[in-house]
Amino acid sequence: MSVASRVGEDIILRRSTSIAGKRSVLTKFAWVVALCVVFVAVLAPLLAWHQPIVCKYQGTYDFPAVVDTVRQIPVLGSYLEKSKPFRFPTFDARKTLDPDSFAIWPPIPFGPIELMADANLSSSRAHWLGTDDRGRDVLARLIHGTRVSVRVGLYSMLLAGAIGIVVGAVAGFFGGMCDWVCSRFIEIVMCFPAFFLILAVMAWIGEGLTGVILVIGFTQWTSIARLVRAEVVRGREADFVMAARSYGASNTHILIRHLLPGALGPAVVAMTFGVADAILLEAGLSWVGVWRSVADAFVGLDAA
């Protein structure tokens, strides 16, 4: 009998560890995918660009694609803004100007808005995914589009998360009239269709990534706020909150230290789904032609 129970214990033990193992493999896989997307977004000009990564021209070395990558990083890039970027001449011209020149190109040696000779090419060794109706390389546009999508998804959800967590926590914690006002406000905001609101805002302040991010952020926080409110209401009556009050903790302290940690889990999950929704919304807008996501992202950068 004792042997049987021992065996049973073993099975239970093994099963639970294998579930834990599987979960950690899944987690690792998810991290790898997410990091790949971020990697592609941040390093887009090193993967697909119309300028080489390293080149030597007329006796000097230069790194135009690297410079352009750094230039597009929000804070760091502003230091490089002043100097006019080096431009490597086209293949035919450089041979006649400087026979000693050489260059290492990105894997896809085309920019996202650069026009090729031929439109509507099917996939070939030069253009892995072919070219579109205006003769632009599709894979290059895909890589640079990732950068826009990630920016829209992350920034708009950071904004939505900040609003949602504050409104939800205040509504849930203080209850009563405050809760009523916040909840009605949440319901009113939920009624705004983000898609059409963006169209209106675009007409008002003009096209641009900032407008899209702001509108998505200011409309998509409601589900986060509702989740946080529910968690805070549940936790507010818990014994450990009364215990914290009994040793002299203030309302702010109880809310931030005791209630928000428990409420952040559901909020973060809602935010990750929100990132996907925001990307889809942005892609929809771009497809309808309300704004030209990839082209607009390079306004100012690639006027040359």
Partner 1 sequence: MTNTRDRDTLLQIRDLRVRYDQAAADTLDRVSLSIKRQEAVALLGDSGCGKTTLALAMMRLLPNGAMVSGSIELRDGDYATPIELTRLAEDRLREVRGKRMAMLFQSPQRSLNPVLRIGSQIEEVIRVHTNVRRADARLKAIQSLTRVGITDPERIIRAWPHELSGGMAQRIGLAITLAGQPDLLIADEPTSSLDANAKAQVVELLRKPRRTMGMAILLITHDWTIARALADRVCVMDGNRIVEDRQPEEFEAHNIHPAARRLIDASNRRLRIAVTNGDDVR
Question: Which residues would be at the binding site for partner 1 (CB under 8 A)?
Answer: 238-240, 242-250, 253, 257-258, 261-262
Name the minimum Å distance from CB 124 to partner 1: 56
Cβ proximity to partner 1: between 65 and 254 the closer is 254
Cβ proximity to partner 1: between 196 and 247 the closer is 247
Name the minimum Å distance from CB 211 to partner 1: 38
Cα separation, 142 vs 63, in Å, equals: 23
Residue type present at position 146: T
Element (H, E) at 103: strand 102-104
Cβ proximity to partner 1: between 31 and 240 the closer is 240
Cα separation, 104 vs 106, in Å, equals: 7
Cβ proximity to partner 1: between 204 and 247 the closer is 247
Cα separation, 150 vs 83, in Å, equals: 28
Element (H, E) at 269: helix 260-288
Cβ proximity to partner 1: between 211 and 262 the closer is 262
| Nearest C-alpha neighbor of 147 from the set 304, 303, 295 | 295
Residues 63/54, Cβ–Cβ less than 8 Å: yes
Cβ proximity to partner 1: between 197 and 249 the closer is 249
Cβ proximity to partner 1: between 89 and 262 the closer is 262
Name the minimum Å distance from CB 231 to partner 1: 11
The residue written with tokens 């100012």 in the block is 300
Cβ proximity to partner 1: between 54 and 268 the closer is 268
Name beta bridge partners: 131: 137
Within 10 Å of residue 212's Cβ, how many Cβ atoms? 28
Q: Say how many residues make up the chain.
A: 304
Name the minimum Å distance from CB 150 to partner 1: 30
| Nearest C-alpha neighbor of 68 from the set 55, 93, 50, 56 | 50
Name the minimum Å distance from CB 262 to partner 1: 5
Name the minimum Å distance from CB 165 to partner 1: 16
Residues 216/275, Cβ–Cβ less than 8 Å: no
Name the minimum Å distance from CB 243 to partner 1: 4
Q: In what order do the strands lie in the sheet with 60-62?
A: 60-62, 54-57, 102-104
Name the minimum Å distance from CB 29 to partner 1: 26
Cα separation, 250 vs 246, in Å, equals: 10
